[in-house]
A and B are shown apart, each in its own frame.
Chain A
Amino acid sequence: MIAKTFDGIKNLLIGLGVTFRNLVSKPVTFSYPEDKRIMPERYRGRHFLNRDENGLERCVGCSLCSVNCPVGCIHVVAAENNPDHPVSEGERYAETYEINLLRCIYCGYCEEACPVDAVVLREHYELADYDRDNYIATKSDLLVYPEPNQFKVNILGNTTRV
């Protein structure tokens, strides 16, 4: 009988132990709109277009992103660079670059296909809006990045964010 009582208390304490431990630990939830979550580095959120060290657009308008896109949400129209005022490093640049963010499935194939590391999917996940038209991200939306997006190219030709 006594043994049974002790057993009960023991189990009670084990159960309450979990309760007390969680009482003092940091909560896993956080108050989202006020606190923003820090996403892992490889998170595939909203797209951005990169610029190179000289401030030129990296994108050369090759359309490989759009041909790789499984849902066909990227539209690129290329044009020839004016050598005196180049927009990008190569002979061509993307005159129009549009991504339909509603249709996009954030698979990251465009980033993988890009031969010049121009299009990237970054950790920005707040994509809610009231207007469908705002989901067509144009060049002016994509080339803006909240922090100066600088990259360095390593010896293998891969770029890393600084």
Chain B
Amino acid sequence: MSDDNQVNITINDQPVTVPKGTLLVDAAKEVGVEIPVFCYHEKLGPFGCCRMCLVEVEKMPKLTTACTQTVMPDMVVRTESPKVVKAQQGVLEFTLLNHPLDCPVCDKGGECPLQDNTFKFGSGTTRMEFDRADNDKVTPLSPVITIDRERCIACQRCTRYSDIIEQEQALVMLNRGFKNEVHTFCDEPYATRYSGNVIDICPVGALTNTEFRFKARSWNLDNAETLCAHCGCNCNMTLGSRTNKLMRIQTRPNDLVDDGWICDKARFGYDFIESEDRLLEAGTVVGGARKKVNALDAAVQVADSLSKIVDEYGPESVGFLGSAYGTNEELYLYQKLFRSVLGTNNLDHKTYQDTPGLPIDHYDFLNVETANLVLLIGSDPAEELPILDLRIKKAVTRRGVKLAILNDQKTALDKFAELSSTYNVGADGAALSALANGLAEGGAGDESVTGISAEQMKSLVELIRSGKKVCVVYNPASLTGNSIHMLKHLLSVIGKIPDIECGAIPAAPSTNAVGAMDMGILPDFSPGGTPADKGLSAMEMIDKAESGELKALLMYRSNPVVDFPGGKRVEAALKNLNLLVVHDMMETETSQLAHIILPSNGPGYDEGTTTNIGGRVQYRRRGLNTKNLPDWKIVSKMINSLSEEPVEYITSFNVTEEISEKVPGYGEINKKSIRKEGKTREPVTSVNGSVPQVEKVNSADQGLKLRVATRLFTRDKILSTSSPLAHHFLPSTVNVHADDAAKLGFSEGDEAVLSANGAEVRAKVEISNRCNPGAVIVPMVADDQGVQGLAGGGSVSWVEVKKG
């Protein structure tokens, strides 16, 4: 019993044993004693300003706040003594003194801690006889957040969130005393990537969701516990709807994934599910006009047409371009259709190279906090995986974790890094191999190639060697050519360093990037990372379509015309096909070219499991009802119409069961095991390839290397111009290094024209040292920016930058 790390205390005569360092308010929860709080939030730590949690502790002269007091051995605590009750009533009276009686109108009504605490602990009457404070009512803090200053009780949860969690200090308290108010400096809009979380943590209705304001009362909502389908974090969220209309999205804390936060794209970026551009009906294109057909009939037609082409031209003549945005179930069934039924290995979901499996452990989000060193390679979490960004900030600022960054561009996380090295654009292979060599046998690589000085490489090697537990976070999508093999080699080198514990997170930006690979949407691997005969990769399929060797393509929620390098060439290649089937949720540039269109339900309406970058499989619940068939039903109809032994799936979980049977690593994934927090799938086996040679960067006579940077808020099919997040959209910009700008005669704000491959992109020049000289960075700001059209097929693209 006498465990050194356990403390015995008594709360209201009930004994309780809690770990050392526990706050009283948390200890009380253990025995079901409720201590009311406003300012305390377990993720923000003790603060003690609202004074609501006063309790009586024996041998302490005055009442103490339970949210700041850690447990001490043999403490005797009373939370219901007359002294405490008087204090609680007094504090509540003070809190309510200038709080307006807005409850019938207030959005927080019904889920308001102030309401609840007043009911449970308040005195029931007011002695206030003066006019209540007259503060600003509806004041926009940003286009998505509105503050009602009268309702604010100055608990400072939001400002602390901005300070501690976001590390932005964007939201602050201004003025003093009774006149203090939550505001931003100089009236700037409060527009961070994670600003929406303050709405959830506000204990009153002061910070409100502008989109949701006055639309519905909290108790009227149907809340679906679902997942976000934007990035690879798969944050847990609650989708509240009323009469089948999306009302609001809130956090659903899951410490193993999101730590209780979601980004603004998750909270405000779902209006596409009610967009007019949605594909809701199946159709066939006859003579240029689209004819509406029954989805199941269309599915049968697709299956028949594909099998006819296979019969005629062989299985290599059909291909499947999937997407890392689909669920495991849908992707698995498509994989089954193409691999088992049609007999082709032409499956892919991405334009970069990647292989399933890691030579070291597959780490999840928690390991970011428990590691000693986080090594970030080619990843920009703030734009790609916002919640991972928060997790890394937490690790660095509050867990004492060191951060090392190896990237070809400067990112927002650089200021938190112990060491940040920038390699030349396109030299990722060389840089990774230099680091691997440095770790294995010393040496620093060729600075003229990598762009990293020998000294910096040496300190990076030292930093990795001295980190007892290293968590590598890498973004395969940012690596060029075959560098992914270099990276896997580097991982195995780190794994071999003695006395080091290590693991990696393959931080690809898309929702189900890990799941898509696990489900075998790869040309060279079957589900579970089992090697298969090599089929055509995505880019090869486009090439073969261009040359006419590929006859039919099925696109599942993929839009190569915009997203693939090549632009016009891709469009021409797709036009060349005998059969183009597009199965998508939105009308896209690619769906305009399709011969047969199948509607996909997409996030909000669909259900299924997804695997996040930490390897955690979670269930994405349906939030809204639709009359349309789920995607897996359409795919299974295709399979069944071709297969001799049809398998009928009743629910999506029947597909999940088949996955757990057939896909290595998914054995323990089932409806029950993933119910609450999800379950980590067994890491798939890694193929030990030979160490590849560093690819020579193809050079051009003139121009600069192009790096397309991911942006969180891109004007695309998901976030349209009418999106509440439209204020985050940027104009087309190009980041030019100061040296190059001097050579080209650019000054800040100039108009530039970037041209390559016959495509042109206009952009505003921003002179920054975001990348090393010799390259430009163009953030992908919109679909119609056409920046992917500049990229060629090779590992590095060159662009000519001229004044416009």
Contact = CB atoms under 8 A, between A and B. Distances in A.
Report if A and B touch in the complex (beta carbons < 8 A): yes
Given A90-B104, A90-B105, A92-B105, A62 B217 contact: yes
A79 interface: yes
B215 interface: yes
A90 B150 CA distance: 14
Interface string A104-143: 0000000000011000000000000000000000000000
Contacts of A66: 220
A116 B101 CA distance: 11
B240 to A, nearest CB: 14
Q: Chain B's interface: helix, strand, loop or mixed, by majority?
A: loop
Interface residues of B, number: 16
B103 A79 contact: no
Contact of B137 (A78, A91, A115, A116): A91
Given A91-B137, A115-B103, A62 B215 contact: no
Q: Which of B102, B103, B215 has the most CB of A within 10 A?
A: B215
A67 B242 CA distance: 14
B739 to A, nearest CB: 53
A92 B137 CA distance: 13
Contacts of B213: 80
A116 B138 contact: no
A interface, size bucket: 10 to 19
B214 interface: yes
B215 A115 contact: no
A79 B220 contact: no
Given A62-B109, A63-B220, A67-B219, A92 B214 contact: yes
A60 to B, nearest CB: 5
B548 to A, nearest CB: 56
B219 A78 contact: no
A77 B105 CA distance: 13
B214 A91 contact: yes
Contacts of B219: 63, 67
B709 to A, nearest CB: 38
Nearest to B216: A78
Given A67-B219, A91-B138, A116 B104 contact: yes
B215 A79 contact: yes
A78 B217 CA distance: 9
A61 B214 contact: yes
A66 B104 CA distance: 13
Contacts of A101: none
Contacts of B220: 63, 66-67
B217 A91 contact: no
B215 to A, nearest CB: 7
Interface string B102-121: 11110001000000000000
A64 interface: yes
B724 to A, nearest CB: 14
Contacts of B105: 60, 62, 90-92
Given A62-B105, A115-B104, A80 B217 contact: no
A69 to B, nearest CB: 12
Nearest to B105: A90
Contacts of A77: 216, 242-243
B475 to A, nearest CB: 41
Nearest to A115: B104
Interface string A53-94: 000000011111011000000000111100000000011100
A63 B217 contact: yes
A115 to B, nearest CB: 4
A90 B243 CA distance: 24
A92 B105 CA distance: 6
A13 B105 CA distance: 70
A98 to B, nearest CB: 12
Nearest to B148: A91
Nearest to B242: A77
3 residue pairs, one from A and one from B, having the closest CB atoms: A62-B104, A92-B214, A80-B214
26 contacts: A60-B104, A60-B105, A61-B214, A62-B104, A62-B105, A62-B217, A63-B219, A63-B220, A64-B104, A67-B217, A67-B219, A77-B216, A77-B242, A77-B243, A78-B214, A78-B215, A79-B214, A79-B215, A80-B213, A80-B214, A91-B105, A91-B138, A91-B214, A92-B105, A115-B103, A115-B104
Interface of A: 60-64, 66-67, 77-80, 90-92, 115-116
Given A67-B219, A78-B216, 13 more contacts: A61-B214, A62-B103, A62-B105, A62-B217, A63-B216, A66-B220, A67-B220, A80-B213, A90-B102, A91-B137, A91-B214, A92-B105, A116-B104
